[in-house]
Amino acid sequence: MHMKRTLILTIFLCCFSQQVFSQMTTEIWTDKQHYDFGETIELSLKVTNSGIEEVKLISACNTAWFQFDDFTPPFGPCVLYTHHFSFPPGSWRTWTFPIRPNEYGLPEFSGEHMLIGKFSHLSDTTYVQAPRYLGGRLSIGIVNGSDPAVVDTIRQDLNASVIRSSQGLSWWYEIWEIFGLTVNEAIDRYDGHPDIRYMEPDRILHDVTSVAIEDEPRPRTAEIFPPYPNPFRTSSKLSIRVSTTQKVRVEVIDLLGRRKSILFDGLVFPGDTKQVVLRADEYLSGRYIYRIRGETFSESGMIVVLR
């Protein structure tokens, strides 16, 4: 009997979660696409209620975080305090994450990097170009009784400055900011050193800001005419106008964030109206998210395909 009740509750929560998040959309963007060595990458995440009903989320797990390539900050999706978020119809909230190379020791390689913004079960992905950063912060455990001259030699070898320090029960704890090699190279160099109890990246997520729509609406550099008709059985059409020439991509993703199609990927010019057609025969019946990204704007919304 207990298992039956648990199963019924699980099914209810699953269906409730799908119903709530089916009307929520997520998009992310960065302050630019190409970064020089050591530049802070400012990542923004926007969560929008695209439905007609208010959504209220009260849970320790309904917060926002990000992933940079294969790295996720140890802030984690669940924390020890509860977040209360209310999303009236048509409203949104943004989170901004400053990714400082001198703190995180990122990027770990040069070239294209994948950034994923996440909010509970929702996610979105973007890409930037940035060179490998030589440096970052390390959490260091120094064995009590170690020769200070030896430890100072290690600091000098890593071009390290001490950010903070404290005394533990069996070791001395310090945070170092190093420069000239990656945090992983530094860890490999001193792995097994008798005076170092542990050495690991110090990459705790902090300085995150969250702003609701009424506090700071995003400036608009484009005019978007959403798909019409919507829902649709055969085809629907959306239009885009921009104030400056820029590269624009229009794509369709499912509710799990998987790309289904790219409808347009090219230049749009001021004074022109770019029309994009969505054809129902390219999709199964159901709800999808259309996403429009330019160089200075980003917008998304829900479409419903009826077959």
- 294: domain CATH number is 2.60.40.1930
Supply the CATH number for residue 166's domain. 3.30.70.80
Q: Are 233 and 285 in a shared domain? A: yes
Last residue of a domain, one of 201, 231, 258: 201
- Cα–Cα dist 55/50, whole Å: 10
Q: Are 188 and 233 in a shared domain? A: no
Say yes or no to pLDDT of 11 above 60: no
Last residue of a domain, one of 152, 168, 201: 201
Residue 195 domain-assigned?
yes
Say yes or no to pLDDT of 21 above 50: yes
Q: Are 233 and 264 in a shared domain? A: yes
Say yes or no to pLDDT of 230 above 80: yes
Residue 124 domain-assigned?
no
Question: DSSP per residue over the chain, as a string?
Answer: -HHHHHHHHHHHHHHHHHHHHTTEEEEEEES-SB--TT--EEEEEEEEE-SSS-EEEEETT--EEEEETTB--TT-S--SS-EEEEE-TT-EEEEEEEE-HHHH---SSSEEEEEEEEETTEEEEEEEEEPPP-EEEEEEEEETT--HHHHHHHHHHTT-EEEEEEE-SSEEEEEEEEESS-HHHHHHHTTT-TTEEEEEE-------EEEETTT-PPPPSEEEEEEESSSBSSEEEEEEEESS-EEEEEEEE-TTS-EEEEEEEEEE-TT--EEEEEEGGGS-SEEEEEEEE-SS-EEEEEEEE--
**Among 95, 86, 94, which residue's Cα sits nearest to residue 20?**
86
- The whole-number pLDDT of residue 226 equals 87
Say yes or no to pLDDT of 168 above 50: yes
**Among 186, 192, 120, 112, which residue's Cα sits nearest to residue 154?**
186
Q: Are 173 and 226 in a shared domain? A: no
Q: Are 287 and 238 in a shared domain? A: yes
- The whole-number pLDDT of residue 167 equals 80
Average pLDDT, the chain: 82
**Among 42, 48, 47, 44, which residue's Cα sits nearest to residue 28?**
44
**Average pLDDT over every residue of 98-110:** 93
- The whole-number pLDDT of residue 86 equals 76
- The whole-number pLDDT of residue 186 equals 95
**Average pLDDT over every residue of 249-254:** 90
Lowest mean pLDDT across 5-19, 25-39, 178-192: 5-19
- The whole-number pLDDT of residue 75 equals 52
Label residue 22 by pLDDT band (50, 70, 90). Answer: low
Q: Tell me the per-residue pLDDT of 122-154, one tens digit each, with 9 for 90 and over.
A: 888 889 999 999 999 999 999 988 999 999 999
Residue 117 domain-assigned?
no
Label residue 220 by pLDDT band (50, 70, 90). Answer: low
Label residue 161 by pLDDT band (50, 70, 90). Answer: very high
Q: Are 223 and 287 in a shared domain? A: yes
Q: β-strand 171-179 against 135-143: which pairing, if any?
A: antiparallel
User: How many domains is the chain partitioned into structurally?
Assistant: 2
Give 160-166 contacts, CB < 8 A, sequence gap 24+. Answer: 163/137
In what side-by-side order are the strands of the sheet with 246-253? 259-268, 246-253, 286-293, 298-305
Q: Are 238 and 292 in a shared domain? A: yes
Domain span at residue 175 reads 135-201
Q: Are 195 and 226 in a shared domain? A: no
Say yes or no to pLDDT of 18 above 50: no
Q: Are 249 and 185 in a shared domain? A: no
Residue 67 token pair? 């992933």
Q: Are 223 and 307 in a shared domain? A: yes
Contact call for residues 237 and 277 (beta carbons, < 8 A)? yes
Say yes or no to pLDDT of 298 above 90: no
Residue 135 token pair? 């440096």
Q: Are 187 and 159 in a shared domain? A: yes
Say yes or no to pLDDT of 236 above 80: yes
pTM over 0.85: no
Residue 226 domain-assigned?
yes
Residue 120 domain-assigned?
no
- The whole-number pLDDT of residue 89 equals 78
Which of 2-6, 81-85, 109-113 is the most confident on average?
109-113
- The whole-number pLDDT of residue 166 equals 85
Residue 153 domain-assigned?
yes
Residue 294 domain-assigned?
yes
- Cα–Cα dist 57/63, whole Å: 10
- Cα–Cα dist 190/196, whole Å: 8
Last residue of a domain, one of 201, 228, 246: 201
Residue 265 domain-assigned?
yes
Question: Rg (Cα) of the chain, in Å, rounded?
Answer: 24
Say yes or no to pLDDT of 288 above 70: yes
Lowest mean pLDDT across 72-81, 115-124, 201-210: 72-81
Q: Are 195 and 247 in a shared domain? A: no
Say yes or no to pLDDT of 20 above 70: no
Say yes or no to pLDDT of 32 above 80: yes
Strand partners, 275: 239
Say yes or no to pLDDT of 77 above 50: no
Residue 303 token pair? 């479409």
